[in-house]
Structure 1
Amino acid sequence: MDERIVVTRAVPEPALELLRAAGEVRVCEQDRPLTPDELRAAVAGAHGIVAMVHDRIDAEVVRAAGPGLRVVANVAVGYDNIDVPAVTGAGAVVTNTPGVLTDATADLAMGLLLMATRRLGEGERLLRARQPWNFHLGFMLGTGLRDKTLGIVGLGGIGQAVARRARAFGMRIAYTGRNRVDERIAAELDARYLPMDELLRTSDVVSLHCPLTERTRHLVDAAALAAMKPSAVLINTARGPVVDERALATALREGTIAAAGLDVFENEPEVEPGLLELDNVVVVPHLGSATTETRTAMAELAARNVAAVLGGGEPVTPVGG
């Protein structure tokens, strides 16, 4: 086959089988993100690129690929790492992997919420450090979830899945975003729409599920944190730059808010050092979609998108230009 497909990092074998049926596949051997120079060299002459969330696919990468580029398949639901106009302007298609990671990411968000509100990470660190402890009624008290308000920023698929899980814990649901959800969904979740400032002011937990855009970059900054309750918890499983990490570290240290649970960071894989010094923040290394089933499904969906485009058809999950 003449089609050349470049995969920027190893993906599960079922996805590679789908890609091999569509063209000649080259998987980059480095077990790390490619540097910009390496990425441009790797994609030279590619008709299809299977990209990871850490790959910046910009106009220079598109030029390096050449005029034969027809599809860039991002193995992620977000595509802030892709310069969509640059790709589509060159006549290629951009695709992503929505839907298949919804449940896994929602599970992780609830896990962070429980860890932060019940001080689970702090408790485990105490035991692993072999520190003395004994049970008493005031020992490591956290806070319960029943009758608390979960404020969701971005009530899309993942936000809705988090809301369903939170309702099982007895939480009330509020949400904000550019658009209101369908009335049937709002009724099912018993979710009320609030402006951002009111959601910050009244929520006991704020969970971020919005895409990263210029509008949402540092959406949660010092002013937003100051508007939250001192007892509030912030959860971020969206994109790191939605939160101003330095402002968050200051807010957690000074008691502006009570706790945070973070799966994503501004400058991954680096984490703001001030956060790592605090007991009232839970940090995990971008594990939202990290189940065997989910990561395999994501890679397979990306592969099907590439195969569809190179075969002359329509992709399963295209991204608009």
Structure 2
Amino acid sequence: MVSRAASGKDGVVTLDAQHPVRVVQLGGLMPFVREWLVDRYAAPELADLADPAGVEVAVVGGGAPVGAAEMDALPDLRAIANFGVGYDNVDVAEAQRRGIVVSNTPDVLTDAVADLAAFLVVDVLRGITAADRFVRSGAWGRGEKLPLTRDVRGAVVGVLGLGRIGTAAAERLEAFGAEVHYHSRSPKDVAWTHHGSPVELVRASDVLVVLTPGGAGTEKLVDAAVLDALGPDGYLVNVARGSVVDEDALVAALEAGRIAGAGLDVFADEPHVPEALLTRDDVVLLPHVGSATTQTREAMGRVVLDNVDAFLERGALVTPVPTD
């Protein structure tokens, strides 16, 4: 059933007694998702809502924060639908304390993110984007020589966080001939080699691929000690969350030659990238595009709608996030 509301001056949405606003947007959503939410639920932005009473579901994306302040602004809130597999932008503990359930969009972005993780491993070892810049700069035409790179086949790739995406990325890298090692909270039923800590993992690895969730539990998990253990011939690839890597320690390790390079799709203060990384040819920089394909984003949007529909119809989410 589609909710309807009246729109007053300046686009401010007011409640209608027969058709109250039950869904609100909290920002960070793609235009087509916004259109779906307006068409299906007449869902306004929170800033355009004159009276928050009766709003039961908040839809959020793009890492927009949902903490106590946002929950206070919606006194009847019962569910938060997050557009993304990561949900460290949502204070899940506070939501749980208030009896608010939270959903995310797992599975549908696994392949896209795993593809990008595998690509970044290939890129940092083979120097693909560096070679592209070399050609475009005219260096090849001037007769300059590009340094030799490293084979993916035979390289040991350490996966930090062997969840759905980590497993899919490992399978892709194994197809390239890489040897896969991993660390996770507990050993998995896989043939790959498990290590008991991140430091143990990187000591055995040529490339460390970070695929853990974000949040307080993994903040700066990849610190100076882990980077030092990776060593001057080792590479870091991060497609998880910028918070998982100590960015200052990473810059220091690169500048001192304590690691060989990095491939980064995420950063601690997006969209701001440390200036020291911008001119380095041994670092590949991407603007958080792990799931940024048309097909994947549309699938994520459908999961969001499924969650909102399910909650409004029967009070249950399709893809609830784990709770303690």
- Correspondent of 2:235 among 216, 233, 236: 233
Where does 1:111-190 land on structure 2 (aligned, <5 Å)?
111-133=119-141, 139-181=146-188, 183=189, 186=190, 190=191
Which residue type is aligned with residue 294 of structure 2? Answer: T
> CA distance change for structure 1 residues 226 and 152 in 2, over 3 Å: closer, same or farther?
same
Residue aligning to 2:272: 270
Residue aligning to 1:194: 195
Residue aligning to 1:219: 221
TM-score (norm 1): 0.87
CA distance in 2 between counterparts of 1:177 and 1:106 reads 17
Partner SS, residue 59 of structure 2: strand
Which residue type is aligned with residue 11 of structure 1? Answer: M
Matched-pair contact (CA < 8 Å) for 1:259–1:280: yes
CA deviation digits over 1:59-97, x for unaligned, max 9? 11001011x212111111111110112223222210001
CA root-mean-square deviation: 2.2
Q: 1:254 Cα deviation (Å)?
A: 1.6
CA deviation digits over 1:136-190, x for unaligned, max 9? 8x63311011111110001000000001100111111111011111x2xx0xxx3
Residue aligning to 2:104: 96
What's the % identity of the aligned pairs?
A: 40
> CA distance change for structure 1 residues 9 and 244 in 2, over 3 Å: closer, same or farther?
closer
Q: 1:108 Cα deviation (Å)?
A: 0.7
CA distance in 2 between counterparts of 1:43 and 1:258 reads 55
CA distance in 2 between counterparts of 1:24 and 1:15 reads 10
* 2:79 paired with 1:61: no
CA distance in 2 between counterparts of 1:158 and 1:228 reads 22
CA deviation digits over 1:113-156, x for unaligned, max 9? 122111122222222223354678x6331101111111000100
Partner SS, residue 111 of structure 1: helix
Residue aligning to 2:252: 250
* 2:314 paired with 1:312: yes
Matched-pair contact (CA < 8 Å) for 1:117–1:143: yes
CA distance in 2 between counterparts of 1:299 and 1:129 reads 40
CA distance in 2 between counterparts of 1:299 and 1:104 reads 15
* 2:44 paired with 1:26: yes
Q: 1:248 Cα deviation (Å)?
A: 0.8
Matched-pair contact (CA < 8 Å) for 1:15–1:299: no
Q: 1:274 Cα deviation (Å)?
A: 1.2
Q: Which runs of 5+ in 2 are unaligned?
A: 4-19
> CA distance change for structure 1 residues 191 and 18 in 2, over 3 Å: closer, same or farther?
same
CA distance in 1 between counterparts of 2:318 and 2:37 reads 14
Q: Which runs of 5+ in 1 are unaligned?
A: 29-37
> CA distance change for structure 1 residues 63 and 278 in 2, over 3 Å: closer, same or farther?
same
> CA distance change for structure 1 residues 61 and 76 in 2, over 3 Å: closer, same or farther?
same
CA deviation digits over 1:212-245, x for unaligned, max 9? 1323111111111111132111100000011111
> CA distance change for structure 1 residues 10 and 199 in 2, over 3 Å: closer, same or farther?
closer
Matched-pair contact (CA < 8 Å) for 2:29–2:61: no
Residue aligning to 1:51: 60
Which residue type is aligned with residue 269 of structure 1? Answer: P
CA distance in 1 between counterparts of 2:263 and 2:52 reads 40
CA distance in 2 between counterparts of 1:17 and 1:216 reads 34
Matched-pair contact (CA < 8 Å) for 2:261–2:282: yes
CA distance in 2 between counterparts of 1:147 and 1:119 reads 17
* 2:89 paired with 1:81: yes
Residue aligning to 1:35: none
> CA distance change for structure 1 residues 44 and 130 in 2, over 3 Å: closer, same or farther?
farther
Which residue type is aligned with residue 108 of structure 1? Answer: L
Matched-pair contact (CA < 8 Å) for 1:152–1:176: yes
CA distance in 2 between counterparts of 1:228 and 1:42 reads 54
In the alignment of these two chains, the number of paired residues is: 302
Where does 1:280-319 land on structure 2 (aligned, <5 Å)?
280-319=282-321
TM-score (norm 2): 0.86
